[in-house]
Chain A
Amino acid sequence: MITVTGLTKSYGDKVAVNDLSFTVRDGAVTGFLGPNGSGKSTTMRVMLGLDRPTSGEVLIDGKPFRASASPLRHVGALLDAHAIHPGRTAYKHLWSLAASNGIPRSRVDEVLQLVGLTSTAKKRTGGFSLGMGQRLGIAAAMLGDPSVLLFDEPVNGLDPEGIVWVRTLLRNLAAEGRTVFVSSHLMAEMAITADYLVVIGNGTLKAETTVDGFIAEHTTERVHVQSPDLEQLASLLRNQGATTTSSEGQLTVEGMKAPAIGEIAAANSIVLHELSPVVASLEEAFMELTSDAVEFHGQDGTNK
């Protein structure tokens, strides 16, 4: 379990993370969501003792990471896939890390096989694609067979097959009882992969919830209806407790599902031209939640 308590980290005048508190549970995948520059990587660096918090603390299984006697066997991390000496081979990179914690050399071959890099292990990493770099980073995280895993944007640069592979890996690691903490700026990816969500924007906590809870809270199902007898249908639906709004010959219904609307229409012999459920996407909900917190707004290309 990872416990973040009142974590604040400033770099000079800039506050990267502001009074952040949350917990990451064992045996589950916890997604760490936030726009670019919202403080995700900073938080993960503090978790690993790489950056010193301005105030607050992070405890991993009750202790600061820097106190760990066998760090790689306790916490494995993928921070930045390209943070590898480009002139060193993948094999030597992993071997040097394994050696530092007394992990046998045979484990290097195991993790290379796990991530599918066995055939390129003797190549210098300078020529690696971003996707290969991610796989090597995951291999490094797995070296010590750790009980806690931190992954910073692990699917960046991966092809669709690689994305499915990472998703399956994360699910399996959590199923084995490990603590899996994975950051992403893609809500849709986290909705599939994670059990819990920690959402931050501008360095502050925006939500800490289950994925199911987040979906239920932030998505309202609406149904678009078109019919020649729109007025009559609308009043029937309102009588059944639905909310309706109409514009340009189209009715938008909230609070009632499409099959129920269809049955009411049929019972009253009302012709329907369209009956289509519209689910507000999680991506929209996520953007709404963090919209005040996006540091780098792109322009939409129109001159206003």
Chain B
Amino acid sequence: MTMATSSKTNVAPKAHFGNVLRSEWIKFTSVRSTMWCLGTFFLLMVGFSALFCAITVNQWAKHLEEVINFDPVTASLAGVTMGSLAIGVLGVLMVTAEYGSGSIRSTFAAVPRRSQVLIAKVLVLAASVGVVAVVAEVIAFFLGQAILGSSKGHGHFITLGPVTVADHPPSVSLSDPGVVSALGATVSYLVCLALLTAGLGFLIRHTAGAISAFVGILFPLFLLVVLLPAAFRDRLEKFLPLQIQQSVVASKPLQGTPVLSTWHGIVVMALYAAVLLGVGAVLLERRDA
């Protein structure tokens, strides 16, 4: 028996970064969890936002607070909180699934320069989340505005304490001030969140641990900070991812709670992601695979 162990096409181009990027793209698109996470994000983003807008139409002008703070853009992006959970899981899994299965060893035996793997993963993740987030948000926005604008009321005005408002919620179009900026900032927020969770994945390397850390940063940390004395709370609260999210989805400045401005919030999120990925990259080179 003769065996064709040799390849006839034995030209040897040097391993370069484009190849690593291509490899990561093949890996990312060849597991079901990617489609599940992005699909779940899409459904939550579009579905939850539409539901929120429909409820808003139905319950309009029942509470003063809601009416004066109402932002049609925020309403049509209401699914972002739930959707961001799916994005976070995606970022974690992209890294920890390889550690969990042990296939990270095949990866590093093929690409011993580990930082190239990290950078390729980051680019594939950022591009995918960016594209899907743009599509989901644009659909959620138009659907949400259509639902908000579907109620023309009776042309009456309602008096709620000191203010008088229309008897139906306002809606906006893409060209209104702050709209494109809010959509763009929300996409950026989601991309940063995905990278932050990939960083957690590189640090923690266990799926359950990294997802717990991600959810912990979003919710329990938020509760903890809110319980602090007011002086500390006001200083810290605005740096929390959930709080940053509140400001990025808004098309006008938020009233009441202290928040960072939209783009300051994005810079802070990007810094979080950069720090976690940076520490992850250092540990990646030092630790045994």
**A interface with B by C-beta (< 8 Å):** 45, 48-52, 65-73, 75, 77, 79-80, 82-89, 92-93, 95-97, 99-102, 104, 106-107, 110, 113-114, 140, 142, 145, 168-169, 172-173, 176
Across the interface, B30 reaches (CB within 8 A) one of A88, A100, A176, namely A88
One of B96-104, B179-187, B224-232 contacting the partner = B96-104
CB-based nearest A residue for B34: A87
One of B67-75, B109-117, B206-214 contacting the partner = B109-117
Contact of A96 with B5 at beta-carbon distance under 8 Å, contacts A80-B105, A145-B10 already known: no
Chain B residues in 8 Å Cβ range of A65 = 112
Whether A79 pairs with B30 at a CB distance below 8 angstroms is no
Across the interface, B5 reaches (CB within 8 A) one of A72, A89, A102, A176, namely A176
| Shortest distance from the beta carbon of A32 to any chain B beta carbon, whole Å | 17
What are 6 sample pairs from A and B whose C-beta atoms fall under 8 A apart?
Answer: A48-B109, A79-B109, A96-B27, A100-B15, A100-B22, A168-B3
Chain B residues in 8 Å Cβ range of A172 = 3, 5
Whether B30 pairs with A89 at a CB distance below 8 angstroms is yes
Chain A residues in 8 Å Cβ range of B101 = 82-86
CB-based nearest B residue for A95: B26
Whether A52 pairs with B31 at a CB distance below 8 angstroms is no
| Shortest distance from the beta carbon of A140 to any chain B beta carbon, whole Å | 6
CB-based nearest A residue for B97: A85
| Shortest distance from the beta carbon of B267 to any chain A beta carbon, whole Å | 33
Whether B3 pairs with A169 at a CB distance below 8 angstroms is yes
Across the interface, A99 reaches (CB within 8 A) one of B9, B10, B22, B106, namely B22
- The proximity string for B residues 11-28 relative to A, scoring 1 for CB distances below 8 Å and 0 otherwise, is 011111001101110110
Given contacts A49-B112, A86-B101, A145-B7, 18 further A-B pairs with CB under 8 A are A50-B105, A50-B109, A68-B112, A79-B106, A82-B101, A84-B102, A87-B31, A92-B26, A93-B103, A95-B26, A97-B106, A100-B22, A100-B107, A102-B16, A107-B7, A145-B5, A145-B10, A169-B5
How many angstroms between the C-alpha atoms of A206 and B231 in the bound complex?
Answer: 68
How many angstroms between the C-alpha atoms of A255 and B277 in the bound complex?
Answer: 69
| Shortest distance from the beta carbon of B32 to any chain A beta carbon, whole Å | 5
Whether B20 pairs with A50 at a CB distance below 8 angstroms is no
| Shortest distance from the beta carbon of B116 to any chain A beta carbon, whole Å | 9
- Is B40 interfacial (CB-CB < 8 Å)? no
CB-based nearest B residue for A172: B3
Whether B288 pairs with A114 at a CB distance below 8 angstroms is no
Whether A80 pairs with B4 at a CB distance below 8 angstroms is no
CB-based nearest A residue for B100: A85
> Which residues B123-143 have CB closer than 8 A to chain A?
none
Chain A residues in 8 Å Cβ range of B107 = 97, 100
| Shortest distance from the beta carbon of A183 to any chain B beta carbon, whole Å | 15
Contact of A51 with B12 at beta-carbon distance under 8 Å, contacts A100-B20, A172-B5 already known: no
- Is B33 interfacial (CB-CB < 8 Å)? yes
- Is B157 interfacial (CB-CB < 8 Å)? no
How many angstroms between the C-alpha atoms of A95 and B108 in the bound complex?
Answer: 15
CB-based nearest B residue for A46: B288
CB-based nearest A residue for B111: A100
Whether B108 pairs with A49 at a CB distance below 8 angstroms is yes
Whether A85 pairs with B109 at a CB distance below 8 angstroms is no
Whether B19 pairs with A51 at a CB distance below 8 angstroms is no
Chain B residues in 8 Å Cβ range of A51 = 288-289
Whether A83 pairs with B5 at a CB distance below 8 angstroms is no
Whether B6 pairs with A102 at a CB distance below 8 angstroms is no
Chain A residues in 8 Å Cβ range of B1 = 168
CB-based nearest B residue for A168: B1
Contact of A113 with B4 at beta-carbon distance under 8 Å, contacts A51-B289, A52-B288, A97-B23 already known: yes
| Shortest distance from the beta carbon of A221 to any chain B beta carbon, whole Å | 34
Whether A87 pairs with B32 at a CB distance below 8 angstroms is yes
How many angstroms between the C-alpha atoms of A43 and B159 in the bound complex?
Answer: 79
- The proximity string for B residues 232-254 relative to A, scoring 1 for CB distances below 8 Å and 0 otherwise, is 00000000000000000000000
| Shortest distance from the beta carbon of B219 to any chain A beta carbon, whole Å | 28
| Shortest distance from the beta carbon of B92 to any chain A beta carbon, whole Å | 15
Chain A residues in 8 Å Cβ range of B98 = 85
Most A CB within 10 A of own CB, among B10, B32, B97, B288: B288
Whether B109 pairs with A70 at a CB distance below 8 angstroms is no
How many angstroms between the C-alpha atoms of A80 and B4 in the bound complex?
Answer: 24
Contact of A114 with B106 at beta-carbon distance under 8 Å, contacts A86-B101, A99-B19 already known: no
Whether B31 pairs with A85 at a CB distance below 8 angstroms is yes
8 nearest CB pairs, A to B = A83-B102, A100-B23, A92-B30, A51-B288, A96-B26, A66-B112, A145-B7, A50-B289
